[in-house]
Amino acid sequence: MQLPAKFINRYQKFIPDFDRFLKTLDTPLRSVIRINTLKGEKEEILRLLSDFKLEPIPWYDLAYRVKNNIQIGNRLEYFLGLIYVQEAASMIPPLVLDPQPGEKVLDLTAAPGSKTTQIASMMKNTGLIVANDVNRKRIRALLTNIERYGALNVVVTNKRGERIGEFLPGYFDRVLLDAPCSLEGMLRKNDHALTRWSESNILRSSMIQKSLLASAFKALKPEGILVYSTCTFAPEENEAVVSFLLEQNPNASIEPFTLPGLITHPALTLWQRTRFHPDVLKTSRIYPHDNNTEGFFVAKIKKAVK
Amino acid sequence: MEQFLKHLADNFAINPELLKDFKILKFGDELFIMSKEAAIFKELKPMQRGIRMAKVFKHSSKLSTSSIQLFGKFAKKNIIQLDYDEALRFAQGFELVLRSQPSEIVEGLVIVKYCEFALGIGNYKEGKLKSRVPRSQVLRT
Ligand SMILES: C[S@@+](CC[C@H](N)C(=O)[O-])C[C@H]1O[C@@H](n2cnc3c(N)ncnc32)[C@H](O)[C@@H]1O
């Protein structure tokens, strides 16, 4: 893969084991499936997949990497909504969010619904998930996925995420902002991600993310949990966005997290002469070469009562 | 609504009690099934709540594939059980000639299953089973 010199210059400064990182970007990813427990017991569904060579994903007991070549989209199990194809790193933000049955959850940028459907399973189809997205075309895919998955606790809305905090302040127990980003972390899946890569695009994304995160935080109840995630390596879209929220809101703090078998790296404290809020160090960077996944950034944010 | 639940009970012996944790609401000519909390959420002009349950006409209704795949497993009558290859062809939208005639089946709409999982609704007549999976949902071949 031909990476722009600017990309290399930026990231070799802080991505550990950089040569292995570059090599990993050139290795294609195998599909990962998630078992839909809203439709049946895990064992019962696994029994139908006897010709799949499955390798468990350590951090989620319902996820498996498919090691042989299977056209998953042509399978009966797919038609039945018993399995959902989703990258293993993309399952991390909902696990960190840890939604509970009966709660009110906001998925601010939800389409096409990988994380929405995972959250629906975690909540056992109870309570409420507001799955919002600004893009109508992508909402169509979200609706198809919700239908096939059998997610009954989802309400789909089509608003600018920036406005939801002011419409519903303090309403949700948990909020997920899986933000639109410059997609660098997806390079293994899709090298088109690079064709639009530029530093100005990163800065533009960062501005949108800051206002989406402010809205997400506003929509959160006191004592509530907000997870901010991106699939990019750019500090402007990760640490800088979280740092901005922490500086604006003294009642926001970061909680560290760990997941079984998942290797993470602490975030940066300094980037291009900008020093971030010290709490940012508790957020996590997830690199493709550590866990054989896409790249991700995840921050778990708590809102204090006052 | 009552009438619709009665239809499920009469035709497929699906006990309405099993759906009591959910709410069924009508929007236009369609019924949607959702969690109770999703049913009371009115903010932000929702585009959809829960999943499509059925389309209702003046004297009948047509169950959706999505809802049958979720609740069809509770059916106790008018069920046709298929093997893997038959199930695949059914999911692809084909008409099947069944190898053996199912007993205790009233000709007409049936719930079609593979193992314990419901695939959708079919129309059964004289040994033939026609898939009612809508074109937009059929499995690619
Ligand atoms: C990374 S994707 C979300 C993926 C999704 N969470 C999943 O797991 O399937 C980001 C989404 O944000 C949406 N988006 C972009 N700008 C937005 C805005 N201002 N308000 C709401 N959604 C927005 C995009 O349409 C896109 O679907």
Helix (H) or strand (E) holding B86: helix B84-91
Pairing between strand B48-49 and B30-35? unpaired
Query: Could you tell me if residue A213 is inside a domain?
Result: yes
The larger pLDDT score, comparing residue B126 to residue A170, is at A170
Nearest Cβ partner for A147 among B21, B38, B52: B52
| Backbone Cα Rg of chain A | 19
Query: Could you tell me if residue A190 is inside a domain?
Result: yes
- Residues B101, B54 share a domain: no
- Residues B82, B67 share a domain: no
- Last residue in a domain, options B72, B87, B113: B72
What are the residues whose beta carbons fall under 8 Å from the beta carbon of A250, sequence distance 6 or more? none
- Mean pLDDT in residue range A167-171: 98
- Residues B124, B93 share a domain: yes
Query: Could you tell me if residue A263 is inside a domain?
Result: yes
Confidence of residue A245 (pLDDT cuts 50, 70, 90): very high
**pLDDT of A191:** 65
Tens-place pLDDT, residues A172-213: 999 999 999 987 767 776 766 677 788 999 999 999 999 999
Atom of ligand 1 nearest to the CA of A230: 1
The number of domains in chain A is 1
| Containing structural domain, residue B8 | 2-72
Provide the number of CB pairs (under 8 Å) joining chain A to chain B.
Answer: 110
**pLDDT of A306:** 72
- Mean pLDDT in residue range A79-104: 98
Catalytic residue among A33, A119, A164, A231: A231
Query: Could you tell me if residue A251 is inside a domain?
Result: yes
Atom of ligand 1 nearest to the CA of A160: 20
**Does residue A173's CB lie within 6 angstroms of at least one atom of ligand 1?**
no
Dump the DSSP string for chain A. Answer: ----HHHHHHHTTTSSSHHHHHHHHTSPPPPEEEE-TTTS-HHHHHHHTTTS-EEEETTEEEEEEE-S---GGGSHHHHTTSEEE--GGGGHHHHHH---TT-EEEESS-TT-HHHHHHHHHTTT-SEEEEE-S-HHHHHHHHHHHHHHT--SEEEE---HHHHHHHSTT-EEEEEEE-----GGGTTT-GGGGTT--HHHHHHHHHHHHHHHHHHHHTEEEEEEEEEEES---GGGTHHHHHHHHHH-TTEEE-----TT---EE--SEETTEEPPGGGGGSEEE-HHHHTS--EEEEEEEE---
> B13 CA to middle of ligand 1, Å?
42
The CATH number assigned to the domain holding B115 equals 3.10.450.720
**pLDDT of A189:** 67
**pLDDT of B58:** 86
A231 catalytic per annotation: yes
The candidate with the shortest Cα–Cα distance to A10, out of A268, A250, A290, A210, is A268
Atom of ligand 1 nearest to the CA of A115: 8
**pLDDT of B103:** 73
- Residues B125, B85 share a domain: yes
- Residues B48, B19 share a domain: yes
Q: Using the beta-carbon criterion (under 8 Å), do B114 and A76 form an inter-chain contact?
A: yes
**pLDDT of A193:** 67
Query: Could you tell me if residue A256 is inside a domain?
Result: yes
- Residues B63, B7 share a domain: yes
Q: What percent of chain A has pLDDT over 90?
A: 91
Give nearest CA residue, ligand 1 atom 15: A180
ipTM (interface pTM) = 0.95
The answer for A272, left when phi > 0, alpha when psi is -120 to 50, beta otherwise, is: left
Query: Could you tell me if residue A160 is inside a domain?
Result: yes
Cis (ω within 30 of 0) for the bond into A112? yes
Phi, psi of B117 (to 5 degrees): -100, 135
Q: Give chain A positions within 8 Å (CB) of B68.
A: none
**Does residue A86's CB lie within 6 angstroms of at least one atom of ligand 1?**
no
The number of domains in chain B is 2
- Mean pLDDT in residue range A97-108: 98
Query: Could you tell me if residue A162 is inside a domain?
Result: yes
Give nearest CA residue, ligand 1 atom 25: A135
Q: Give chain A positions within 8 Å (CB) of B115.
A: 44, 48
- Last residue in a domain, options B72, B87, B120: B72
Confidence of residue A127 (pLDDT cuts 50, 70, 90): very high
> A97 CA to middle of ligand 1, Å?
17
> A215 CA to middle of ligand 1, Å?
14
- Mean pLDDT in residue range A114-126: 98
**Does residue A194's CB lie within 6 angstroms of at least one atom of ligand 1?**
no
Q: Give chain B positions within 8 Å (CB) of A108.
A: none
| Containing structural domain, residue A254 | 16-22+89-303
The CATH number assigned to the domain holding A269 equals 3.40.50.150
For a pocket test of ligand 1, which of A91, A105, A109, A115 has the largest count of ligand atoms closer than 8 A to its C-beta? A109
Q: Using the beta-carbon criterion (under 8 Å), do B34 and A152 form an inter-chain contact?
A: yes
- Residues B64, B44 share a domain: yes
- Residues B51, B16 share a domain: yes
Tens-digit pLDDT string for chain B (141 aa)? 777 888 889 999 999 999 999 999 999 999 999 999 999 999 999 999 999 999 998 888 899 999 999 999 999 999 999 999 999 999 999 999 988 777 777 889 999 999 999 999 999 999 999 999 999 999 988
- Residues B91, B63 share a domain: no
Give nearest CA residue, ligand 1 atom 2: A180
**pLDDT of A291:** 96
- Residues B113, B60 share a domain: no
- Last residue in a domain, options B72, B92, B122: B72
